[in-house]
Amino acid sequence: MRLQKECLYCKKVLIGRTDKKYCNLHCKSAYQYQKEKEQPKRFYNKVDNQLKLNRKILKEYNKGGKVTVRAEVLSNLGFNPNFFTHYWKNQKGDVYLFVYEYGFLKRNENGKNKYVLITWQEYMSIKKN
C-alpha cells in the first residue's frame, strides 16, 4: 500500500517505492526550502544576523580607531543599538556598548544624536579593584 500518492512538492503521481514522497531530488530540495521559509526564523538566528550586521557597519565607519558618526547614518543602514555583545565603562562613567571588538557610545551633540565609535583596546580588559 502506497503511503503518499503524489509528490509533496509538484503533486505529480508517484511511481516506484511505496514510501516515496517526491518524484526527484529537485522536488525534495524545493519542498524542504519552501517548508523552511514558511517557519518563523529562530530567535537566535535573528540575534546573530543583527550582531553581524551591526559589526559590519561599525567596522566600515570606524577606520580611525575613534570616530563620531550621526546615528541616522548608521540606522539607515540597519544598525540596531539594542544588539551588542558586551560593554565597557570608562573612568568618566560613560558606558560603551560593544559588538565584538567595535564599540559605540550614544551622544547628543547640538540636538543631533550621534555615536562615538571606538575599537576594543587591551587596557579595557584590566579589572580594577
pLDDT, averaged across the chain: 91
Model pLDDT for residues 64-104, shown as the tens digit of each residue: 889 999 999 999 999 999 999 999 999 999 999 999 999 99
How far is the C-alpha of 36 from the C-alpha of 46, rounded, in Å? 15
Residue 35's pLDDT is: 85
Q: Considering only 37-41, 44-48, 120-124, which range has the smallest mean pLDDT?
A: 37-41
Cell representation of residue 22: 517526491
* pLDDT one-digit tens code per residue, 108-123: 999 999 999 999 998 9
Q: Grid coordinates in use for 39?
A: 517557519
> What mean pLDDT do residues 11-24 have?
91
Backbone angles phi, psi at 27, to 5 degrees: -65, -40
